[in-house]
A and B are shown apart, each in its own frame.
Chain A
Amino acid sequence: MLRFALRRLALALITLVILIFVIFLLTRVFPSDPARQLAGPFAPQERVDELNEQFGLDDPLWQQFGRLLVDVLTLDFGESFSQPGEQVVDLVRPALWKSTQLVLFALVMTIPISIAGGVIAARKKDTLLDRGIVTLGLASASIPEFVSGVLIQYVLGVRLGWFPAIATPPDDAGFLTTLDYLFLPALAIVTVYFGYIARITRAGTITALDSDYSRTAFMKGMTTTAVVRKHVLRNSLQPTVAVTGTQIGYLFGGLVGLEIVFNYPGLGRLIFRAATAPDFPLLQAGVITVAVIFMLCTLGADLLIAWMNPRARLNLGGQ
């Protein structure tokens, strides 16, 4: 298991370097010119050249990339272009913490509900309950989270007043108060991911229930609940774990619309602001942060799958 983990970690680091290179290329090769943007459309070329030199944008690409690698290793991305005087790290850190709070809360709500829904749908396959769960899941997953967020915000926050409509807890908010403020945006995330995870869980559970080992367990006299708990879940949840791992990365950086609706200062909104400025240091730092989270989550998912299924260690290159 240790050797498997080390191999996966090495692969993850190599992937991360490649990812950083791709991010670097996108910001340099894609048609945007931050120096021109800052100087203005009719600025003389001398002014643009001055800004390019100031920000090191006219250095050879390999030099710029080297600087970026050093920045990543030292966690020092310099000053923000759009907020002069502010260190990029000081802007990313609080946004990352905010996103972490929201994502964790959303996952704590989503995963148990979705897995339970998928397992129940599988056990009650082809019944009204099964159809209901599948249909509801499909419908809710079709609606973007910022759309469902607006609806949830209006109904539960504004009209009924059950929860705060804006996700801005007071500075001295305790744990439960913070959860109260994060409930609505987290619920919006749940509505989207419930259908997705429940359907994958359902499919995996149905396959596992139809397998030989499940049949044997039933013939031994085990109850359905015991079969599901001891034999089925461990096998049926592997696809769920794999999918959830990749989706967590998206949750960190992709919830721009939701963060705007709830006025939540998360990583997605920060990256969006950096992309539209354009603020290269902030954009790079934000995207790399999301990339690292992606890597860690997929690595975690692989390790969890390997623990759940020893055969996977062999298939994925383990001992």
Chain B
Amino acid sequence: MDWKRLDSARESSGPIEVDLIEAYAQGRINRRNFVKRGTIIGLSVPFMGAIIAACGDDDDSSGDTAAPGTETAGTEAPAGTEAPAGSDAPASSGGVIVVANQQGDANSGLDPVNMLDLGTYNVVSQSFEYLVGVGDDGNIADTGLASEWAPNDDATVWTFTLRENATWADGSPVTSADVAATLDRLAEANNAALGGVIDVGSTDSSDPTKAVVTLLQANGNFPVLVSIFNAQSLITPVDYSSGTTLDERPEGSGAWVLDSWDAATFTAKFVRNANWWGGETPLDGIEIRGFADIGTQVTAMQSREVDAIQQFPVIGGEGLLNDANFVVLTPPSANHRQVWFNTQQGQFTDKLVRQAIAWTLDRQQMVDTLWAGRAEIGNDHPVLSSLPFFDDSAVEQRTPDPEMAKQLLADAGVDSITAVCETGDLQEIPQLAAIIQQNAAAAGINLTVNTQSNSTFYGAAWCPGPNDSDESLPCDNAAEFGIVDYGHRPVPDVYFSSALRTGGPWNSSNFANAEFDQLLLDYQGSIDVDSQKAAVSQMQSLLWDEVPACYPYFYNFLGGHDASVTGVKATSLGHTILSGASKS
């Protein structure tokens, strides 16, 4: 241990940074999580490298398990090669890449503020950019509009320095006024990640090169909330009005400019943005092509009708996994399915009934059947085990126990339950519903599955809107029971604040628990790892007990491309980053 070097680093750092350095030096977090957390709070790579060197080589053995999907090449036997989050080295320039993409929600359109599905995320994010981007390791990095960022001493104010040469497609500069206007729009729309974190007017744009954001309360993870992992936080021009769609106003600061858009087939074509700050893209253009059916997407990739595929399932994707000329991308993934209960209306208002369902679920069966093992079993909270603040001793792992379920129903005074499980026709979700139906039947619970088009499911069953007489629960009219998809976030803030906090915009459970809300504030305000862990541990316990939703698994995100294509990056939120891609 090089104490002199460490002391020097401490002296030049604020309290947040010092806490992180101490946690790493004392072995409370491993190197991977030190780098992850350090990136979030704005530590530079050379600085982190110096700390790591000062502490000597660590052994990554502090007990954290790897997040699903972070395995690097070499851990898998199949013929297809695997890369973590991206593939390297440009081949040659020119040409167009076609990406097979999930067909997006027809109702929301290409609206950067209100979009909700991975298909739309991938289209809109080709033209617009985030304040904070993603690195090759799948974590946030300074690849967005902000070249650096830093907190004040108590993480209540964050300063983002914008790239000097970032411009809109028409050549006008991207300034802090654009950032301020965007964050105001997101605050007004009660954005899932930023609701309760910022308010309208939180951003000071007096210096056009710096966006200074004053938070409603301390938040040690704020850069994540304005990163690519808050899909709706794309930076749009200062005069962009909410509800405007990309096809109505195809202006962005990103590498690509929208050239044509066909809503019926969900197909977007882009050409190179000559004014992009990142320079000339190797490719001349890209095409994001929508497919209604995942099987057809896989077929298109197998037959090389497309060059890349946004996402594919394990079951049905064997042909790609075993294809020697297909490169599998496995970005870090906290993707999961949330099996929600409406806790305010319907048959699941009693937590004993919700617990009964939870105790019937055979999660291992789900992982084996639906993901061929490429998933991690969940335990009815959205905290991935690889996160530094995950507490594996907080609650016991639920295993299928139909007798326990029957007893819980009896305790609730319920003879039988007959309910409908609402799902969209997205990937394996209908099959998951079928397994849940089968599992629940063992405890005498009768479930039927209603699967509808994913483009209508969100508005019809998941979160149709609030009760007009009470706007405090935005999803008050959600179906009493259903399954929805959640994309990857590197920290669970969105899962907590949008899906479980009282009044959260995605809270289809209508979970309204004051203790949980307070713990969430405690967690968000925590700037050191130990405080975060203390709060999260209690949240894990509370959610496990109250069961506003079941979380059966976290699955690996699989995307990929033909071997003739290189330089493609992917996130588990469905982004396919093609600014550095090329095709031979």
Contact = CB atoms under 8 A, between A and B. Distances in A.
B264 interface: yes
A209 interface: no
Contact of A165 (B303, B455, B456): B303
Contacts of B263: 83, 86
Interface in B456-512: 456, 459-461, 464-465, 467-469, 476-480
A144 interface: no
B296 A263 contact: yes
Contact of A39 (B300, B306, B456, B477): B477
B289 interface: yes
B8 to A, nearest CB: 59
B478 A263 contact: no
B431 interface: no
Contact of B467 (A44, A154, A171): A44
A166 B300 contact: yes
B102 to A, nearest CB: 12
A294 interface: no
B438 interface: no
B267 to A, nearest CB: 8
A251 to B, nearest CB: 20
Given A39-B465, A42-B342, 4 more contacts: A41-B477, A44-B467, A157-B299, A276-B453
Output the residue of A42, A86, A165 with the most chain B CB within 10 A: A42
B299 A42 contact: no
B264 A91 contact: yes
B556 interface: no
A84 interface: yes
Q: In the complex, which range does the number of interface residues on chain B fall in?
A: 35 or more
A153 B109 CA distance: 31
A86 B106 CA distance: 10
A82 B458 CA distance: 12
Contacts of B280: none
A25 interface: no
B476 A42 contact: yes
A164 B260 CA distance: 23
Interface string A144-172: 00000000011001100100111010010
Contacts of B477: 39-43
Interface in A69-111: 82-86, 91, 94-95
**Which 4 A-B residue pairs are closest in the complex by CB-CB distance?**
A40-B464, A40-B477, A165-B303, A42-B477
A116 to B, nearest CB: 31
Contact of A37 (B265, B300, B460): B460
Given A39-B477, A158-B302, A260 B465 contact: no
B264 A263 contact: no
B303 A166 contact: yes
Contacts of B295: 261
A38 interface: yes
Given A166-B300, A265-B264, A41 B479 contact: yes
B299 A153 contact: yes
A258 B260 CA distance: 27
A277 interface: yes
Given A165-B303, A263-B291, A46 B468 contact: yes
Nearest to B475: A40
A280 interface: no
B507 to A, nearest CB: 14
Contacts of A261: 293, 295-296, 299
Contacts of B469: 44
A168 B289 contact: yes
Contact of A161 (B106, B303, B480): B303
A168 B305 contact: yes
Contacts of A44: 467-469
A276 B452 contact: yes
A83 B208 CA distance: 39
B107 interface: yes
Nearest to B260: A171
A47 interface: yes
Contact of A82 (B106, B302, B319, B478): B106
A164 B305 contact: yes
Q: In the complex, which range does the number of interface residues on chain A fall in?
A: 35 or more
Nearest to B420: A41
B468 A154 contact: no
Nearest to B479: A41
B460 A165 contact: no
B453 A277 contact: yes
B285 to A, nearest CB: 12
Given A83-B263, A164-B305, A154 B456 contact: no
A54 to B, nearest CB: 15
A83 B291 CA distance: 17
A269 interface: yes
Nearest to A93: B264
A193 interface: no
19 contacts: A41-B461, A42-B342, A42-B477, A43-B467, A44-B467, A44-B469, A47-B468, A82-B107, A83-B107, A158-B299, A165-B303, A166-B296, A166-B299, A166-B300, A262-B296, A263-B291, A263-B296, A263-B300, A265-B265
Given A42-B476, A157-B303, A276-B452, A84 B107 contact: yes
Contacts of A47: 465, 468
B545 to A, nearest CB: 25
A165 B300 contact: yes
Contact of B464 (A43, A82, A153, A166): A43
B274 interface: no
B345 interface: yes
B341 to A, nearest CB: 13
A265 to B, nearest CB: 5
A270 B263 CA distance: 12
Contacts of B150: none
B292 interface: yes
Nearest to A277: B456
Contacts of B467: 42-44
B42 to A, nearest CB: 42
A161 B305 CA distance: 10
Contacts of B453: 273, 276-277
Nearest to B452: A276
A40 B461 contact: yes
Interface string A180-197: 000000000000000000
A261 B464 CA distance: 31
Given A38-B459, A158-B299, A263-B300, A166 B465 contact: no
A84 B455 CA distance: 13
Contacts of B306: 166
B483 to A, nearest CB: 16
Nearest to A156: B303
Nearest to A86: B263
Interface string B306-336: 1000000000000100000000000000000
Output the residue of B456, B479, B480 with the most chain A CB within 10 A: B456
Contacts of B478: 40, 42
Nearest to B291: A263
Output the residue of B296, B342, B469 with the most chain A CB within 10 A: B296
Nearest to A262: B296
